[in-house]
């Protein structure tokens, strides 16, 4: 069964960008769709977008269109989420997730990456 | 985007209670609905997929029902480990997934 391991916590200035990685191990990376979900402190879950590595096709939530880029490197079984023009409201835990049974019902989650946006 | 509305937002219950959480979709999503449990500081855990299919390893006191626009998650007999926040999520809309706002189950 695939496991997802994310990069470490980040502190960023407003207006900058952040790139979070999600490395898959123990499974066939390219055949899974990897989604990114974020959770601001004390708030609910918010889907940002996803990529199907084998196709290299990414789709994004309307809210993040133009500000988020999701990519995948099949050679290293790693997915990336880059969020630009950061503002304080982007302070959140960012998760990558996928589903073994159904790509979009997430039974496999990364451990989460805390991104803090502060001047 | 499809909006998912959960109710209640907070629920106070005792161990042994039967608990029901409702999730409504702004348009039909067939049975493409999942339920998650989340505890503080942890990633969500999948409980139910395809509206009523129990994820492997999840206790049978959890069940899901519904189709179209109205769904429920039921915990037949609330256990101490079940105090957490629960989220529904639709995955009917291709590449436009959305979560409900969450229901926090608290100790009465």
Residue A19 scores a pLDDT above 80: yes
CA distance B4 to A16: 32
Q: Where are the beta strands (DSSP E) in chain B?
A: 4-7, 10-13, 19-25, 33-38, 45-49, 53-54, 62-67, 70-75, 85-90, 98-99, 103-107
Residue owning tokens 């390219």: A30
Contact A109 B101 (CB under 8 A): no
Interface of A with B (CB under 8 A): 35, 37, 44-47, 49-50, 59, 61-62, 95, 97, 99, 101-102, 104-107, 109-112
Give the tokens for residue A21. Answer: 């990685």
The confidence band for B79, taking pLDDT boundaries of 50, 70 and 90, is very high
- Contact yes or no for A49/A60 (Cβ under 8 A): yes
- Contact yes or no for B38/B87 (Cβ under 8 A): yes
Instruction: State the average pLDDT over residues A36-55.
Output: 95
Instruction: State the average pLDDT over residues A1-12.
Output: 95
The confidence band for B15, taking pLDDT boundaries of 50, 70 and 90, is very high
The confidence band for A91, taking pLDDT boundaries of 50, 70 and 90, is very high
Residue B93 scores a pLDDT above 90: no
Q: What percent of chain A has pLDDT over 90?
A: 80
Q: Are strands B103-107 and B10-13 parallel, antiparallel or unpaired?
A: parallel
For residue A4, the SS3 value is: strand
How close is the nearest chain B Cα to the Cα of A110, in Å? 8
Instruction: State the average pLDDT over residues A74-78.
Output: 91
């Amino acid at each position: 069964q695939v496991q997802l391991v994310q990069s470490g916590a980040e502190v960023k200035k407003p207006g900058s960008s952040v790139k979070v990685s999600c490395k898959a191990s123990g499974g066939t990376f390219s055949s899974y769709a990897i989604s990114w979900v974020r959770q601001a402190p004390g708030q609910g879950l918010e889907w940002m977008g996803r990529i199907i590595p084998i196709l290299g096709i990414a789709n994004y939530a309307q809210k993040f269109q133009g500000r988020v880029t999701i990519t995948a490197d099949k050679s290293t079984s790693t997915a990336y989420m880059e969020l630009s023009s950061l503002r304080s409201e982007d302070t959140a835990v960012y998760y990558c997730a996928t589903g073994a049974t159904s790509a979009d019902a997430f039974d496999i989650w990364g451990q989460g990456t805390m991104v803090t946006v502060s001047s | 985007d499809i909006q998912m509305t959960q109710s209640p937002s907070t629920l106070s219950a005792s161990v042994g209670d039967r608990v029901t959480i409702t999730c409504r979709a702004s348009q039909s999503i067939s049975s493409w609905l999942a339920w998650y449990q989340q505890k503080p500081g942890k990633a969500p855990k999948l409980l139910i997929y395809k509206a009523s299919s129990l994820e492997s390893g999840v206790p049978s006191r959890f069940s899901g029902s519904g189709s179209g626009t109205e769904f429920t998650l039921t915990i037949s007999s609330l256990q101490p480990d079940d105090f957490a926040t629960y989220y529904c999520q639709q995955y009917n809309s291709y590449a436009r997934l959305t979560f409900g706002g969450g229901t926090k189950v608290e100790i009465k």
